[in-house]
Amino acid sequence: MRRTKGRRSGPEQSPNKTSPVPRLTEAASFRIIFRLSFATGEPVRLDPNLLRDHRMRRPFIAGNWKMNLSHRDAVRLAEEIHERVSGIPDRDVALCPTFVSVTGVAQALADSRIQVGGQDCARTDDGAYTGEVSASILKSTGASVVIIGHSERRHVMGETDEVVREKMGKAREHGLRPILCVGETLEERKSGRTLEVVERQIRKGLEGFGGADLTETTIAYEPVWAIGTGEVATPDQAQEVHAAIRGWLKELGGAIGEDIRIQYGGSVKPSNVDGLMAMPDIDGALVGGASLNADDFATLVGFGNG
Ligand code: PEP
């Protein structure tokens, strides 16, 4: 069984291209697995790759380098990651350095299939906005992806859902593929409001989106309490929210909702990635700390092979 979503034949192909290979539903795939098991009498080992093969969404692992690395170190790390992940098939990979290193990293990765992204973009087009970087300028520096609504921007820089929505619109207007970050704080989780908060962030962030805009979007579910804290959501906790997000995406986009990738983010490490990626609605990871180490990040990209 092969995933069809985003299969890439060369470095230039979009991660969202489809191929004509017929799709299997999740239930049909499980029926085949269990029939095989019954026929051979052998227990089937459900490793993350096998579990993932019944789905059509190609795993997408993105590194968010935040405000780390000198320009030279950023380029060097990009080259090291390229070396280590180039032999890993069927995974989409993106690196998001600081704005000033996007061009250098994009040049260093010109011959690779790794995409380069910004960590944010302005909610306006070019103009008198000192210190801001518009989506069109970001695109012109070599970025194809942009992280929008990261929890540090929402909670440290005070970005509202409305600002996030405007940035999502600008990203798409200028041909960037946004990674829309959503997630609850610890207080919101403790008061039982996780799904309410995440649903509001999803609906607002995707307001006015349809068709290609949705297809080109990735969602990153990042519980705020798990980001940079070492405290990861359990696979079941993450899957519960991812499944809810999948439901809202299907409400918003119909069949397209099934194809949109939902990354998990929050202290993803080599030691916990396999458990997370075995979940049916976890399609990848947005990685902070562990993306600053080439070996760790390559292990995350190659999950399921440990
Ligand atoms: C992030 O920055 O999006 C993130 C998930 O960070 P970390 O992996 O360090 O928790």
Matching residue, tokens 């990674």: 179
Convert the pLDDT of each residue in 140-186 to its tens digit: 999 999 999 999 999 999 999 999 999 999 999 999 999 999 999 99
- The pLDDT tens digits for 59-72 are 999 999 999 999 99
In contact, 185 and 157? CB cutoff 8 Å: no
Q: What is the pLDDT of residue 189?
A: 95
Domains and CATH numbers, the chain: 22-56 (no CATH), 57-301 (3.20.20.70)
Q: 152, 159, 188, 222: which one is catalytic?
A: 222
Q: Is the CB of 222 under 6 A from ligand 1?
A: yes
287, 64 in Cβ contact below 8 A? yes
Q: Which of 150, 159, 184, 242 is catalytic?
A: 150
Closest residue by Cα to atom 7, ligand 1, is 288
Active site (annotated) includes residue 207: no
At 105-141, the pLDDT tens digits run 999 999 999 999 999 999 999 999 999 999 999 999 9
Q: Is 150 annotated as catalytic?
A: yes
| Gap from CA of 94 to ligand 1 centroid (Å) | 14
Res 33 pLDDT > 80: no
231 CB near ligand 1 (under 6 Å): no
Cα of 255 from ligand 1 centre, angstroms: 30
Does 267 sit in the ligand 1 pocket, CB within 6 Å?
A: yes
Instruction: Output the 3-class SS for the chain.
Output: CCCCCCCCCCCCCCCCCCCCCCCCCHHHHHHHHHHHHHHHCCCCCCCHHHHHHCCCCCCEEEEECCCCCCHHHHHHHHHHHHHHHCCCCCCEEEEECCHHHHHHHHHHCCCCCCEEEECCCCCCCCCCCCCCCCHHHHHHCCCCEEEECCHHHHHCCCCCHHHHHHHHHHHHHCCCEEEEEECCCHHHHHCCCHHHHHHHHHHHHCCCCCHHHHHCCEEEECCHHHCCCCCCCCHHHHHHHHHHHHHHHHHHHCCHHHHCCEEEECCCCCCCHHHHHCCCCCCEEEECHHHHCHHHHHHHHCCCCC
Q: Is the CB of 102 under 6 A from ligand 1?
A: no
The pLDDT tens digits of the residues spanning 239-262 come to 999 999 999 999 999 999 999 999
Q: What is the pLDDT of residue 205?
A: 98
Higher pLDDT, 190 or 49: 190
Atom nearest to 222 CA in ligand 1: 5
Of 67, 125, 58, 70, the closest CA to residue 94 belongs to 58
Residue 287 alpha carbon, nearest atom of ligand 1: 8
pLDDT (0 to 100) of residue 306: 62
Looking at the CA of residue 268, tell me the nearest atom of ligand 1: 8
